[in-house]
Amino acid sequence: MRTLFRYVTSGVLGLTVAASASAAFATDLSGNASAQIQQAISIVEDTAMDFGTTAVDGSGGTVTISTAGAVTGPAGYSFSGSPAAGAFTASGDVSTAVTISFTDGSLTGPGAAMTLNNFLHDAGGSPATDVAGDLTFNVGGDLVVNAAQVSGAYAGTYTVTVNY
């Protein structure tokens, strides 16, 4: 029993010496940190998308407006008026890459709602703000006209998202 007590006492003393030796070699070091803050992006609609006046036959079809404002559609449809592609200006940090995305919308009026989808923009494959922090771009897309669409004025919205 005395031998066991001697080993236990030696072990406890050894741990105490080892623990106090570790504390004597401790040190502190300050870590580095950094951050870059980006200005919130704002978007202004400069020109509303306008498909002009579309004369349709009884069949449904898709009317497309290009980013240049040219309107096309199925045979049997005719187009008049002053169509216009949507035009937007996004403002944010200078010379910074952005992404542009869209959420489908719809036009409502006297008849069934018509879907707006398949949007495209003319800001190129890698859009970026310029040295003033601005990016100007046009938007085109599709208007899905239902069969036997009721005549009248239709209006609605779609969402444009610009993000860093």
Written in H, E and C, the secondary structure of 30-96 is CCCCCCCCCCCCEEEEEECCECCEEECCCCCEEEEECCCCCEECCCCCEEECCCECEEEEEECCCCC
- pLDDT tens digit string along 68-85? 999 999 999 999 999 999
Give the pLDDT confidence score for residue 58 in this predicted structure.
Answer: 84
Give the pLDDT confidence score for residue 3 in this predicted structure.
Answer: 52
- pLDDT tens digit string along 3-57? 544 544 445 444 454 445 556 788 999 999 999 998 899 999 999 999 999 999 8
Can you give the residue ranges of every domain in the chain? 42-163
- pLDDT tens digit string along 133-149? 999 999 999 999 999 99
Topology annotation, domain 42-163: Immunoglobulin-like (2.60.40)
